[in-house]
Amino acid sequence: MMFWLAFALRNLRRNTRRSLFAIFVVAISAAAACLAAGYINATTHAVREEMIRGGVGHLQIATSAEFEGVAMRPFEHAMPAEIAAEATRAARAAPGHRFALPRLLGEALISNGDLAIGVAYAAIDPKREPSAMPRGLALVAGGLFGDDPHEIILGAELARRLGLKPGDDVTLLGSTTRGGVNASDVRLVGIFRTGVQEIDLRTAYVPLDFARDLARTDRVSRVALLLANTAETEATAARLAAALPGLAVKTWRELAPVVEQIRVMFIQQFTVFGAILALVVFLSVMSVVLAALMERVREVGTLRAIGLGRGRLAWVFLLEGAGLGVIGAVLGVGLAILVQIGLGFFRVMLPPPPGRSLPVPLLIAFDGWIAASVIGALVIIAAGAAVIASRRILSLKIVEALNHV
């Protein structure tokens, strides 16, 4: 094995310029593949965490009807207090749990006295929720909730349209469980911006006790659960579903299907991109090995004449192709690491994606598994290209090979 490996590597040095060209192509392809896969990895991870820590949580517990979202009366499908308490207890008992957050979700009109805008409010635990979901309450002005329950935090676009700043008072007009209307004055303490225009225009946060008073109910719409480890989501969901048979448990995958849709879209794009890279590597290595072999036809004939079979020689050419693949791919991964470090250092920003108002950082996060996969794939492609290129030479009769000029 070492004998043939040395043979293969020395053959690569016979025409340095040609081998360097193939190595260059493989390296650029490896770097491109690593960076593309790293971008997909980082972006899907960022979107997922944005969703989870922006309010969705890893899991949510509610009635099935609440998840379906169709109700004849306000808070019709919200959990009664004792069931919500049981759900919260079960959630807090789950292994790996960090926060169990009861919420009441409702709709209201918010008015500055001149103008009223409809909002969806989330009534939250004013102390726990901001720590648990920091990305959902990314404040750009003011602060978080204090001890006074008559406080509100608004999205930046909503505050702008109502001409509000922290410290201003507004009136919140909401439905009660019996279909009546109730109003209460609240003070704007903070303004958040998620970068998603629709959320920044239509969302308000109020303390849970205030909302219950406004809606005249002690019900809870959902209990959101944040775990220490996202990988534990499915197992915890199964445990909670078993422990709470009258309730439904949904994971972030079900609550935010856009994460999976983005991942699938990226994978489809990467498949096309990867196929193009694979073809480029295949053709480059094949042309380089074929050119090298055309200069070694007599040598191949000699080796076969002295008793070395086609299979053993095909193995040599496979090693030569694999050698080009390994050297190029390892260099490419090194290049991708440098690019990743550079992007992290200079913090390159991309324009806001559709539906968002803030630029997003260009994140690349490829790991050892991605690097190993890229190297493995390119080595196999390069080795395969070399073997295919060698077939024509190896199929020549020995006499033809020996007489080749």
Partner 1 sequence: MSEKLVSLAGVEKTFRRGTELVAALRGIDLDLPQGAFVGLAGPSGSGKSTLLNLIGGLDRPDRGEITVGNWPVSLLDERRIEAYRAAALGFVFQGFNLVPVFSAEENVELALIAKGLPGSTRRAEARRLLAEVGLGDRLEHRPGELSGGQQQRVAIARAMVGRPQLVLADEPTAALDDATTRQILDLMRSLNREHGTAFLISTHDPRVLERVDAVHRLADGRLA
Summarize as ranges the residues that interact with partner 1 (CB under 8 A).
2-3, 7, 10-11, 13-14, 298-299, 302-309, 312, 397-399, 402
Distance between CA 91 and CA 71 in Å, rounded? 26
Minimum Å distance from CB 20 to partner 1? 17
Residue with tokens 């918010």: 110
Cβ atoms of residues 12 and 324 within 8 Å: yes
Of 159 and 292, CB closest to partner 1: 292
The nearest distance, CB 281 to partner 1, in angstroms, is 25
For 59, phi then psi, to 5°, come to -145, 155
Residue 112: left if φ>0, alpha if ψ -120 to 50, beta else—which one?
A: alpha
Q: Which of 1/272 has CB closer to partner 1?
A: 1
Least distance to partner 1 from the beta carbon of 386, Å? 16
Name the helix (H) or strand (E) containing 338: helix 310-346
Q: Least distance (Å) from partner 1 to the CB of residue 398?
A: 4
335 vs 396 by CB, closer to partner 1: 396
Contact predicate 225/37, CB 8 Å = no
2 vs 70, which CB is nearer to partner 1? Answer: 2
Q: How far, in Å, are 96, 288, 352, 367 from residue 294 at the CA level? A: 63, 10, 53, 40
Q: Nearer Cβ to partner 1, position 5 or 139?
A: 5
Cα–Cα distance for residue pair 96/234, rounded to 1 Å: 12
CB of residue 16 to partner 1, shortest distance in Å:
13
Minimum separation from the CB atom of position 12 to partner 1 (A): 10
Task: Characterize 273-282 residue by residue with b for buried, 16 or more Cβ atoms within 10 angstroms of its Cβ, and e for exposed.
Answer: ebeebbebbb
Closer by beta carbon to partner 1, 14 or else 178? 14
> Nearest approach, Cβ of 381 to partner 1 (angstroms)?
25
Question: By C-beta, is 179 or 311 nearer to partner 1?
Answer: 311
Distance CA(214)–CA(172), nearest Å, equals 9
13 vs 17, which CB is nearer to partner 1?
A: 13
Amino acid at 188: L
Q: Which runs of consecutive H residues, i.e. helices, occur in 203-309? A: 208-215, 233-243, 252-255, 258-294, 297-305
Sequence-separated (6 or more) residues with CB below 8 Å from residue 144: 126, 130, 137, 153, 189, 190
Query: In DSSP terms, which residues pair with 173 in a beta bridge?
Result: 109, 183
